[in-house]
C-alpha cells in the first residue's frame, strides 16, 4: 500500500507542467498589431540581435508619398514588443537586407524629394544612429560584401541599372552602370515596382568569387547579369522575358552552383542545385527546374542556406495560392527534396524574410492581413526540433 | 510554495489513510466487546456508479497571445474567461472501502468539461469615426479527461441518512480536446453598420493540453435504501498543475492564424454527482448491510 502511495506521489508531481521559457523562446507566432484603421506595415528583413531579440526592417504606408515609408521594430527573444520607430517620411523606399557590420545594422533607402540613396545605420535596439548620403537614386537591392556593401540601384535619368560597392560611411568605391534599353516602356515596371502599383520585381545583387552579379534590367529584359565592375558589358547574362520571366532568387552554393528560383509568365520553378553559366548569354527558361503550381503567380521567393539535422540544406520560402507561407527544403549536396512546412492559416500570410537563429531554429518574418484587411508584420519562430522533424528527408 | 503546500497536504492525507489500517493500543477505559454483528459492520466494501454535472473555471497562470499591440495597451485585447458557467458531465465508477466511519474511495471517472473565453479588437481612425472595425473572438474549449480520484471520506452521522465530508487527490489524463472559435464583429467602414458572425472554426486541440492533477474537497450524503446506498455528493477540484502543453501553445496553425495562443491554465471544477452503491459483504441473506 505504501508503495502505491509513493508511486501516486511520483505520478502526480511528475505531471507538474510549469511554464517553460525555453520552449516559449524556441517556438512562437506573433502578429504585431496597430489599431490605426489606415495603417499598413510590412516587413522587409529580420535579423536576430545579440540579446536574443529580433530587429525587423519594414515599410509602412505614407499618406503623403507614393513611396513606402520606413518602419523599424524591435522585439524580444519571446517575440514580445520592445519598441518601434516610424522613420520620418523624408526617407522612403527602404530595401533589405539588414546588413551587419561592426555590431551595427545598415540598410539603404532614399530621400523622398531628391530620390538620392541613403545608407542608414541602426543599433541593435532599432534606433537610427547615423545616415550617409550615397548619391545613386532608386536603391533596388543590396548585400553585404565583407566590410562593404553591394548596392543595385536604378539611375532613372540615364535609364541604367547600377551596381556599386559602398563603404559603411556611404562612399562608393566602385560602380558600373548598364543600360536597360531605350524607351519609357522598359522603365515602366521598374518605377511601378518602387511605387508599389504593380508586381514587385525580384531585384538582387551579390558576389560569387571575384564576380559580381545582379538581377535587374539589362538590355530590355530582367536578367541575371555577371560583371567584374570593370567592363562596360556584363560577362554573362541569363536573360528573362522582359518583366514576365526571369530569376526570382539566386544564392550561390559551393562548386560554382546556385540555388535558384525562376518565374515565367506566372509559373514558378525551383532549382536547388543549378549550374549557371557566368559567361555568355543564356535564357532562364532553359534552366528547367521543379514546377511549383501551388505558389502564387510570379511568387516572391527567399532562399536560405542552413544546417538541419547536421545536413546542409537549401531552404526555400514562398507564398502559396492558399495564402500560406510554404517552406521547402532540399539537400544542398544533391538537390534532393527533404521536406516542407506550411505556416499561417485563416488570415493571408506572405513571406518577407527567413533567418537562422542562435538556437538552431528559424525565424520566418512575413506580412499578414489581420481580419483579412489590415497589413501587419508577423513572425514565426520555429524550433530546431520542429525543423528537424519537418526536414528529416525521406 | 504551491507544490510544497500540496505535497504537505498530500502526505498528511496519506498518513491519515495509513493510520486507519493500524490497530492502536487501547490505553483508555475498556470498551464493551462488540457483538458479532457490530464487528462485521465496522468494515464494508461498496461498489457503484454515479454520474452528474461539472462546472469549470479556467484560471490563467500566464497569458500568451499571438497579437502583440504596438501602439495600444495589451489589456484591451486581454482574454476574459468565464467562471463556473459552462456545464460539463461525468460518469464515475466508485469502489469504496468503509472502516469505522472512514471510507477510502477510488473513483475512476470519464469527465467532459467546458470553459470559454473571449477577447476583442478594435481598429479605428480618429479622424473618421466611420472607419472602425470591431471584432470579438469567442472561444470554447471542450476537454475530455479520464480522472483517477482517491478520496477519504468521513461519515458525520451513522444513521440511515449519512452525511459525510471528503478530501482527495485527482490525477486527470487527457483523452481529447477541441476548440471552437467564433468570430463576430461590426464593420462601420463598409457603408453602414455591418454586423456579422462567421461560421465557427472547430479544431482538434489535443496537442495544446496535458495531463494534470488536482486536490479535492467536498461534502455528500448517503442514504441507505435497503441494501442499496444512494449517494449525492459535490466536490471542488482545485487544479494544481498547468493543463496546457507549454511546447505547443502556438502549435495549431488555424488558431495561431487568427491570433490565438494557449494560456498556461489551472483548471478548477465543481463536480456534482448522484448514484447508487452496492455492498459487497453481507452478514446473512436478510441482513441489511449498515442500515441498523
Q: Which of residues 199-258 of B touch A (CB under 8 A)?
A: 201, 210-213, 240-247, 249-251, 253-254, 256-258
pLDDT of residue A14: 52
**Whole-prediction pTM value?**
0.88
Strand B67-69 versus strand A28-33 pairing type? parallel
Q: Where are the domains of chain B?
A: 48-279
pLDDT surpasses 90 at A124 = yes
Q: Cβ distance B86 to B114 under 8 Å?
A: yes
pLDDT surpasses 70 at A221 = yes
Contact A73 B14 (CB under 8 A): no
pLDDT of residue B77: 93
Residue A238, SS3 per DSSP:
strand
**Torsion angle defined by CA atoms of residues A93, A97, A98 and A102, in that order, rounded to the nearest 10 degrees:** -130
Helix (H) and strand (E) counts for chain B? 3, 13
ipTM: 0.89
Read off the pLDDT of each residue in A14-33 and give the average, rounded to a whole number: 82
Convert the pLDDT of each residue in A154-183 to its tens digit: 999 999 999 999 999 999 999 999 999 888
pLDDT of residue A6: 53
pLDDT of residue B37: 59
Q: What are the backbone angles phi and psi of residue A224, rounded to the nearest 5°? A: -90, 110
Of A15, A31, A75, the CB nearest to B259: A31
Q: How confident is the model at residue B1 (pLDDT cuts 50, 70, 90)?
A: very low
Determine what percent of chain A is predicted with pLDDT higher than 70.
95
Convert the pLDDT of each residue in B137-196 to its tens digit: 999 999 999 999 999 999 998 888 999 999 999 999 999 999 999 999 999 998 899 999
pLDDT of residue A394: 84
pLDDT of residue A21: 86
The residues with which B246 forms a beta bridge, in sequence order, are: none
pLDDT of residue B258: 82
Sheet hosting strand A139-145, strand order edge to edge:
A139-145, A148-155, A160-166, A172-179
Find chain A residues with C-beta within 8 A of B203's C-beta: none
pLDDT of residue B22: 43
- Measured CA to CA, the distance from residue B229 to residue B274 in angstroms comes to 11
Q: Cβ distance B54 to B278 under 8 Å?
A: no
pLDDT surpasses 90 at A300 = yes
Convert the pLDDT of each residue in B211-266 to its tens digit: 999 999 999 999 988 889 999 999 999 999 999 999 889 888 888 888 889 999 99
pLDDT surpasses 80 at B205 = yes
2.40.160.20, 3.40.50.300, 1.20.210.10, 3.40.50.1480: which CATH number matches B48-279?
2.40.160.20
Exposed/middle/buried for residue A22 (C-beta within 10 Å: 0-12, 13-18, 19+): exposed
Size of interface A-B (CB pairs under 8 A): 138
pLDDT surpasses 80 at A197 = yes
Residue A339: is the preceding peptide bond cis (ω within 30°)? no
Q: Which of residues 72-101 of B touch A (CB under 8 A)?
A: 72
Q: Which of A134-138, B29-33, B86-90, B118-122 bottoms out in mean pLDDT, i.e. has the lowest?
A: B29-33
List Cα–Cα distances, B189 to A60, A61, B77, in angstroms: 21, 19, 21
Contact B131 A18 (CB under 8 A): no
**Distance between B164 CA and the closest CA of chain A, angstroms:** 23
> Of A19, A124, A137, A4, whose CA–CA distance to A67 is shortest?
A137
- Measured CA to CA, the distance from residue B30 to residue B32 in angstroms comes to 7
Of B21, B71, B243, the CB nearest to A35: B71
Strand B128-155 versus strand B109-125 pairing type? antiparallel
Convert the pLDDT of each residue in B39-71 to its tens digit: 666 788 999 999 999 999 999 999 999 999 999
Amino acid at each position: 500500500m505504501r508503495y502505491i502511495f509513493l508511486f501516486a506521489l511520483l505520478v502526480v508531481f511528475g505531471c507538474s507542467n510549469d511554464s517553460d521559457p525555453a520552449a516559449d523562446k524556441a517556438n512562437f507566432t506573433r502578429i504585431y498589431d496597430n489599431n490605426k484603421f489606415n495603417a499598413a506595415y510590412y516587413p522587409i528583413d529580420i535579423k536576430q540581435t545579440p540579446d536574443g531579440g529580433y530587429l525587423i526592417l519594414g515599410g509602412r504606408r505614407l499618406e503623403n508619398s507614393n513611396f513606402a515609408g520606413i518602419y523599424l521594430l524591435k522585439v524580444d527573444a519571446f517575440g514580445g514588443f520592445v519598441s518601434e520607430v516610424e522613420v520620418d517620411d523624408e526617407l522612403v523606399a527602404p530595401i533589405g537586407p539588414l546588413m551587419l557590420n561592426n555590431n551595427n545594422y545598415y540598410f539603404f533607402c532614399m530621400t523622398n524629394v531628391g530620390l538620392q540613396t541613403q545608407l542608414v545605420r541602426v543599433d541593435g535596439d532599432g534606433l537610427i544612429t547615423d545616415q550617409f548620403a550615397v548619391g545613386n537614386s532608386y536603391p533596388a537591392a543590396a548585400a553585404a560584401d565583407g566590410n562593404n556593401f553591394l548596392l543595385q540601384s536604378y539611375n532613372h535619368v540615364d535609364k541604367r541599372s547600377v551596381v556599386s560597392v559602398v563603404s559603411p560611411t556611404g562612399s562608393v568605391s566602385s560602380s558600373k552602370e548598364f543600360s536597360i534599353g531605350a524607351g519609357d516602356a522598359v522603365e515602366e515596371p521598374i518605377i511601378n515596382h518602387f511605387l508599389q502599383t504593380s508586381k514587385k520585381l525580384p531585384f538582387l545583387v551579390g558576389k560569387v568569387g571575384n564576380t559580381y552579379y545582379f538581377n535587374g534590367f539589362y538590355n530590355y529584359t530582367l536578367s541575371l547579369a555577371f560583371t567584374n565592375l570593370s567592363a562596360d558589358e556584363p560577362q554573362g547574362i541569363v536573360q528573362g522575358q522582359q518583366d514576365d520571366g526571369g530569376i526570382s532568387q539566386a544564392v550561390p552554393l559551393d562548386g560554382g552552383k546556385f540555388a535558384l528560383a525562376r518565374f515565367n509568365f506566372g509559373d514558378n520553378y525551383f532549382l536547388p542545385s543549378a549550374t549557371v553559366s557566368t559567361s555568355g548569354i543564356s535564357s532562364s527558361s532553359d534552366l528547367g527546374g521543379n514546377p511549383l503550381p501551388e505558389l502564387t503567380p510570379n511568387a516572391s521567393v527567399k532562399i536560405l542556406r542552413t544546417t538541419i539535422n547536421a545536413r546542409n540544406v537549401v531552404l526555400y520560402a514562398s507564398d502559396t495560392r492558399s495564402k500560406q507561407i510554404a517552406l521547402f527544403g532540399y539537400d544542398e549536396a544533391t538537390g534532393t527534396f527533404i521536406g516542407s512546412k506550411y505556416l499561417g492559416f485563416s488570415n493571408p500570410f506572405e513571406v518577407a524574410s527567413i533567418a537562422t537563429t542562435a538556437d538552431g531554429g528559424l525565424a520566418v518574418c512575413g506580412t499578414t492581413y489581420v481580419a483579412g484587411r489590415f497589413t501587419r508584420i508577423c513572425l514565426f519562430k520555429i524550433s530546431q526540433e520542429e525543423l528537424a522533424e519537418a526536414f528529416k528527408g525521406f | 510554495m504551491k507544490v510544497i503546500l500540496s505535497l504537505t497536504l498530500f502526505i498528511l492525507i496519506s498518513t491519515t489513510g495509513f493510520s486507519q489500517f493500524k490497530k492502536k493500543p487501547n490505553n483508555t477505559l475498556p470498551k464493551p466487546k462488540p457483538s458479532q454483528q457490530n464487528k462485521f459492520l465496522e468494515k464494508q466494501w461498496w461498489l457503484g456508479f454515479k454520474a452528474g454535472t461539472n462546472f469549470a473555471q479556467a484560471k490563467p497562470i500566464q497569458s500568451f497571445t499571438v497579437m502583440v499591440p504596438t501602439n495600444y495597451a495589451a489589456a484591451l485585447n486581454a482574454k476574459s474567461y468565464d467562471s463556473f458557467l459552462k456545464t460539463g458531465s461525468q460518469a464515475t465508477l466508485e469502489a469504496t472501502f468503509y472502516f469505522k466511519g472512514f471510507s477510502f474511495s477510488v473513483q475512476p471517472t470519464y469527465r467532459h468539461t467546458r470553459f470559454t473565453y473571449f477577447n476583442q479588437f478594435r481598429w479605428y481612425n480618429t479622424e473618421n469615426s466611420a472607419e472602425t472595425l470591431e471584432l470579438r473572438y469567442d472561444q470554447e474549449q471542450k476537454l475530455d479527461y479520464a480522472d483517477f480520484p482517491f478520496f477519504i471520506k468521513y461519515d458525520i452521522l451513522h444513521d440511515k441518512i449519512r452525511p459525510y465530508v471528503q478530501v482527495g487527490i485527482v490525477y486527470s489524463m487527457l483523452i481529447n480536446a477541441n476548440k471552437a472559435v467564433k468570430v463576430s464583429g461590426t464593420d462601420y467602414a463598409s457603408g453602414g453598420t455591418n454586423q456579422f458572425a462567421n461560421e465557427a472554426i472547430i479544431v482538434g486541440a489535443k496537442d495544446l493540453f496535458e495531463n494534470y492533477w488536482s486536490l479535492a474537497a467536498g461534502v455528500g450524503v448517503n442514504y441507505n435504501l435497503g441494501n442499496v446506498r444512494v449517494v449525492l455528493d459535490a466536490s471542488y477540484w482545485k487544479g494544481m498543475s498547468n493543463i496546457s502543453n507549454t511546447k505547443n501553445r502556438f502549435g495549431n496553425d488555424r488558431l495561431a492564424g487568427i491570433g490565438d495562443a494557449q494560456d498556461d491554465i489551472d483548471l478548477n471544477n465543481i463536480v456534482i454527482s448522484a448514484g447508487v452503491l452496492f455492498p459487497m459483504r453481507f452478514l446473512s441473506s436478510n441482513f441489511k448491510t449498515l442500515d441498523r
